Structure 1
Amino acid sequence: MIVDDDYLVRAAIEGILAPRKDIVVVAAAASGAEAVVMARAERPEVVLMDVQLPGMDGIQATRTLLAEVDTQVVAMTSLASVDTVQRMLEAGAYGFVLKDAAPDALADAVLTVARGDAYLSPRHTRALVERLASDTGADGAREAARLFAALSDRERDAARLVAAGATDGEIAERMYLAPSTVKSHIQQVRVKFGVRNRTQIGVIVERAGETPA
């Protein structure tokens, strides 16, 4: 389901996603209140939620919708501060993508959260990791260092690049590996860290003092 108060934006996003065989657009809403009503009726697997909405904004709409419907929310916006990203994630959004992202990135965000994994626009990953990682003490740093030490050499390299905000493609190029191998390494890092997404990987790496310059 697509939620945006601009008709042209809704039409453009639907035009990007509709041709794909692995994505079906079931509804489109123009406001937060309308999104809640439509989600109750359509039960979409994923909701693309604009942050700046009239009346009930995307943050409140996300919080209200997720309290009533079993779905995943990907937040969308044209401009976003780290504070906005954090507030949307705290409201329950499981992904965040910029509207000026490439069409493939928008589809990737939908499919990623549909699989139960989190998606964050790479340009926001680093700043969010730094903010979240700063909220810890000596015990948190020691635990992060212990978890990081348990990784293999390749897993450590991949985890460091995740913390730096690199995409899978950039990591594959930097490590001279196939993208599928990179995904496997990152999955193993998630398992060993006991986390669900890349941002959480980055926070542990940052707390361990292992993020590359």
Structure 2
Amino acid sequence: MTIRLVLAEDHAMVRRGLEQFLGGVEDIEVVGLAADGAEAIEVARTARPDLVLMDLQMPGVDGVEATRAIVAEGTAAVLVLTSFSDAERILGALDAGALGYLLKDAEPEEVLAGIRAVTRGESPIHPRAARELLTARRGIVLPDLSPRETEVLALVRAGLANKQIARRLGISERTVKGHLTAVYSAIGVTDRTQAAVWAERNRIGD
């Protein structure tokens, strides 16, 4: 089965790149392009695609409102592809009727898998977006740690000393200490034991 697809993306270069990439896939046909939410609604009405690949941050009518309108009219399913992974946007898009939520830093194969999953009736969610949803559901607001700070904190939770962490990550002990200072400040603790307890409670590294 060929999946008829509309691309809704306000950045021309990104839109063109997606069109070229997806247009070269055997089971996908790009049947329409839109540069904003209002245009996405109109193109979906005209083209009657199987799926709209929807950005969220667009001028005028944004992706959430466009999703709500398209789903309400029953013209197509919607899969979000965006740069934003905050819980508010994720919940807004899913509440509007989007069947999946992918991030633009996903690998091309992940985007293809997500498109095909939605057409099978599944709901693909990027792992980082899924974590944000779970965090929001628990009512916990996690600080914005960098990937390296998160790695260091996870290893503290695992009981590794600074020298072991440095060896594991291929960095100096001084750098490890610098990361820990930033982590302590971000999560509101004053020592290693408190950080380990916090990391365990919030399942850092799982």
Within 2, Cα distance between the matches of 1:133 and 1:118?
21
- Aligned pairs for 1:54-69 within 5 A: 54-69=59-74
- Stretches of structure 2 that go unaligned for 5 or more consecutive residues are 1-5, 140-204
- Aligned pairs for 1:132-143 within 5 A: 132=137
State the secondary structure of the residue aligned to 1:100: coil
TM-score of the superposed pair, with normalisation by structure 1: 0.60
Which 4+ residue blocks in structure 1 deviate beyond 3 angstroms?
A: none
Render the CA deviation track for 1:117-141: whole Å, top value 9, x for unaligned: 101011121231243366xxxxxxx
Tell me the equivalent position of 2:106.
101
Paired residue type of 2:42: V
Within 2, Cα distance between the matches of 1:29 and 1:91?
19
- Report the CA distance shift for 1:36/1:87 in structure 2 as closer, same or farther (over 3 A): same
State the secondary structure of the residue aligned to 1:123: helix
Q: How many matched pairs?
A: 136
Superposition RMSD on alpha carbons, in Å? 1.6
Render the CA deviation track for 1:142-200: whole Å, top value 9, x for unaligned: xxxxxxxxxxxxxxxxxxxxxxxxxxxxxxxxxxxxxxxxxxxxxxxxxxxxxxxxxxx
1:113 to 90, 107, 118: 118
In the alignment, structure 1 residue 127 sits paired with structure 2 residue 132:
yes
Tell me the equivalent position of 1:43.
48
- Stretches of structure 1 that go unaligned for 5 or more consecutive residues are 135-211
Tell me the equivalent position of 2:16.
11
> Does the 8 A contact of 1:43 with 1:69 survive in 2?
no
Tell me the equivalent position of 2:155.
none
**Largest Rg, 1 or 2:** 2
Render the CA deviation track for 1:72-95: whole Å, top value 9, x for unaligned: 111121232111111100010011
- Aligned pairs for 1:175-186 within 5 A: none
Paired residue type of 1:113: V
In the alignment, structure 1 residue 86 sits paired with structure 2 residue 91:
yes
Percent identity, please.
Answer: 39
Tell me the equivalent position of 1:31.
36
- Report the CA distance shift for 1:90/1:114 in structure 2 as closer, same or farther (over 3 A): same
TM-score of the superposed pair, with normalisation by structure 2: 0.62
Shift of 1:54: 0.2
Shift of 1:37: 0.7
Paired residue type of 1:49: M
